[in-house]
Amino acid sequence: MEMRRLAERDVEALWKLRLQALESVPEAFGESAEEHRQTSLEGMANRLRDGGDENFVIGAFAGSDLVGMVGFYRELRLKRRHTGGIWGMFVAPSCRGQGVGAALIQEALTRARTIPDLRSVHLSVTASQPAARRLYVSAGFRSYGTKPEALMVGDRYIDEDHMILRL
C-alpha cells in the first residue's frame, strides 16, 4: 500500500472517492453528497495545489487505485494557528481491516508534526462510527466533549465526539 500526498493529477480519483464516502456513510461527514457534487474538479485541484505544507490530503493507493484518504488543515487565524484538524477520513470498504486507516492517520500526523509551532490536532467523529473512534483513540486522540445533534441526516440527529491529540 502506497501512502502519499495527493496532487493535482489525483483530483479525479479524490473527487470520486470523496463522493463514495459521502454516499456510503452520510452520517460520518459534515458535507453531503449533494454539496460535493457541486464542487468542481478545478476547484478541488486548486485546493490540492495551493495547500502548502500546512494543508494537505494523504491518499492510500492499492496499485493505481485510490482506496483511502485523510485531510489535514492548519487553522488560519493568529490566535488558532497552534492547532490543526483532521478531516475527511475514509477507507474503501474493500480495504478496511487491513491497517490502511491507521497508516493514513500516522502519515498525516507525521507531516503535521513538522509544522512549526503546531501544538495540537483536533477532529470530530460521529457517534455512529465506533470503529473510527477506536482508530483515533489508538492513534493517541482523547475525547474532550460531545456536541449533541451536531448533524442531521435525513430525519436523524447525530452527536459528534470532539477529540484532541497534543503533539
List the domain boundaries for the chain. Answer: 2-166
Burial class (CB in 10 A: 0-12, 13-18, 19+), 67: buried
Residue type, 18: R
What is the rounded end-to-end Cα distance, in angstroms, of the chain? 26
Mean pLDDT of 5-10: 94
Distance CA 92, CA 89 (A): 10
How many CB atoms neighbour CB 9 within 10 A? Answer: 9
H-helix or E-strand spanning residue 66: strand 65-74
pTM surpassing 0.75? yes
- 122 CB burial (10 A radius; 0-12, 13-18, 19+): middle
User: Mean pLDDT across the stretch 122-141?
Assistant: 96
Distances (CA, A) of 70 to 17, 47, 149: 11, 14, 24
To which H or E segment does residue 150 belong? Answer: strand 142-153
Q: What fold does the segment set 2-166 form as a domain? A: Aminopeptidase (3.40.630)
Determine the length of the chain: 167
CA 100 – CA 113 distance, rounded (Å): 20
The residue ranking higher by pLDDT, 136 or 46, is 136
Tens of pLDDT, residue by residue over 74-89, are: 999 999 999 999 999 9
Whether the pLDDT of residue 1 is over 90: the answer is no
